Amino acid sequence: MDTTPALMQQDPKDPATWPVGRAELVEPLVRRVLAPNPSPYTFTGTETYVVGAGRDVVVVDPGPVGSEGPYLSQGHLAAILATIGDAALAAILCTHTHRDHSPLSRALKQATGAPIVGCAALALDDDGPRADAAFDPDYVPDRVLADGERISGDGWTIETVATPGHTSNHLCYVLLESGALFTGDHVMGWSTSVVSPPDGDMGLYMQSLQKLYDRGDAVYYPAHGPAVHNTRQFVRGMLGHRRQRERQITRILEEGPAVIPAMVERMYKGLDPRLTGAAGRSVLAHLEDLLRRGRVSRKEETWTILA
Ligand SMILES: [Zn+2]
């Protein structure tokens, strides 16, 4: 008997049509469950993937933890457990440790006994220069996966693809049976990722984009936004977008020294005001990359182009 649910379709531009807390089959070995945490940063929310259709499965990016409002996670945990059903949970994989990705791994581990596997924990300061409120400080992996390392189960094999840049610990995972890549926040289906120093690094981010371009995986399943099918074209567009941002910055600085808020105002017309801070972090990431390459100098908050 075929009990496979029909492939779900939703309008990628209309978040209201995205089903929260219900498993959608996106390909034979992959089901997606949307968490109830929509926001200007997460689009319709975090997409958790359940991979495998046999005796055991893995979960990629369990999602956020919260007891109220958009982060109400009790229902999301129940939806993940219902999707796993009678299968054993072989591992809980995290792409990185932002708060909308890894925190629910603890409750899922407690409910199933499955190990937390994948990205490393970050040792960020509580209030030092590396402090970042977006991080999950309580994340503790049972096993860290290195680039190229594999885990496998009943009918599935997953290989780790290290992609530092969005965060220094970011990993993608490829399902070898279908060529699908779980891209976390490295490549998202709806927006460019935030690269926020000091942990975010634009130079590494560009290298990791080039790495994906060279791989040419069949399809991307990001943690936010719709699946990406034209992967090479999409990544080429992202690389081009970042180079264009860099050119905008160097052109502004060619007119004279500038501070970041003034650059953001000129570069991001019509930006959602809630995203101004994130845009500033991205400009800083570009400037730090230019600084490392000897193209600009910095004095306090003012940036100057070097000939
Ligand atoms: Zn993230």
pLDDT tens per residue, range 179-204: 999 999 999 887 778 888 888 999 99
**Could you tell me the distance, in angstroms and rounded to a whole number, from the CA of residue 183 to the centre of ligand 1?**
11
- Tell me, in angstroms, the distance from the centre of ligand 1 to residue 226's CA: 16
Percent of the chain residues topping a pLDDT of 70: 89
Using alpha carbons, select from 187, 281, 282, 279 the residue that is nearest to residue 225: 187
CA angle 20, 113, 51 (to 5 degrees): 45
Ligand 1 centre from 9 Cα, in Å? 25
The C-alpha atoms of residue 84 and residue 56 are separated, in whole angstroms, by 8
Question: What are 112-139's pLDDT values in tens digits?
Answer: 999 999 999 987 665 555 556 688 989 9
What residues have their beta carbon closer than 5 A to ion ligand 1? 98, 185
User: For residue 191, what pLDDT is reported?
Assistant: 74
Q: How far is the CA of 254 from the centre of ligand 1 (A)?
A: 32
Q: For residue 62, report the distance from its CA to the centre of ligand 1, in Å.
A: 13
Q: Do 194 and 168 meet the contact criterion of CB atoms below 8 Å apart?
A: no
Q: If you measure from the C-alpha of residue 105 to the centroid of ligand 1, how many angstroms do you get, rounded to a whole number?
A: 15
Residue 106 is which amino acid? R
pLDDT of residue 193: 81
The number of helix segments (H) and strand segments (E) in the chain equals 6, 14
Q: What's the CA-to-centroid distance between 123 and ligand 1, angstroms?
A: 16
In this predicted structure, what is the pLDDT of residue 69? 63
CA 238 distance to own-chain centroid? 14
Spacing, Cα 102 to ligand 1 middle (Å): 10
| Ligand 1 geometric centre to CA of 170 (Å) | 8
Gap from CA of 185 to ligand 1 centroid (Å): 5
By CB atoms closer than 10 A (0-12, 13-18, 19+), residue 290 is buried
- Tell how far the Cα of 191 is from the centroid of ligand 1, in angstroms: 12
Q: Which pLDDT band, with edges at 50, 70 and 90, does 106 fall under?
A: very high
Distance 129 CA to ligand 1 centre (A): 19
Question: What's the average model confidence in pLDDT over 153-164?
Answer: 98
| 67 backbone dihedrals φ, ψ, rounded to 5° | -115, 5
Nearest CA to 175 among 221, 226, 116?
Answer: 221
Could you tell me where the beta strands, DSSP code E, fall in the chain? 23-27, 30-34, 47-51, 56-60, 88-94, 116-118, 143-144, 150-153, 156-162, 171-175, 180-184, 219-222, 296-299, 302-305
Asked if pLDDT for residue 1 goes beyond 60, the answer is no
Residue 155, pLDDT score? 98
Percent of the chain past pLDDT 90, that is, above it, reads 72
> At 43, phi and psi to the nearest 5?
60, -120
Q: Distance, CA 91 to ligand 1 centroid (Å)?
A: 20
Please say if the pLDDT value at position 3 is more than 50: no
Share the mean pLDDT of the chain: 89
Confidence band, pLDDT 50/70/90 cuts, at residue 280: very high
How many whole angstroms from 172 Cα to the centroid of ligand 1?
A: 12
Ligand 1 centroid distance, CA of 135 (Å):
9
Task: List pLDDT tens digits, range 71-95.
Answer: 667 889 999 999 999 999 999 999 9
What is the per-residue pLDDT across 55-66, written as a single tens digit (0 to 9) for each? 999 999 999 998
| Ranges 37-41, 144-148, 228-232: which has the least confidence | 37-41
Nearest to 179 by CA among 146, 143, 228: 228
Read off the DSSP letter of residue 69.
G
**Gap from CA of 95 to ligand 1 centroid (Å):** 9
Beta strands 143-144; 150-153: pairing state: unpaired
Q: Could you tell me the distance, in angstroms and rounded to a whole number, from the CA of residue 98 to the centre of ligand 1?
A: 5
Q: Is 155 left (phi over 0), alpha (psi -120 to 50) or beta?
A: left
Distance from the CA of 4 to the center of ligand 1, in angstroms? Answer: 32
199, 124 in Cβ contact below 8 A? yes
Q: Please give the distance, rounded to the nearest whole angstrom, from the Cα atom of residue 32 to the centre of ligand 1.
A: 18
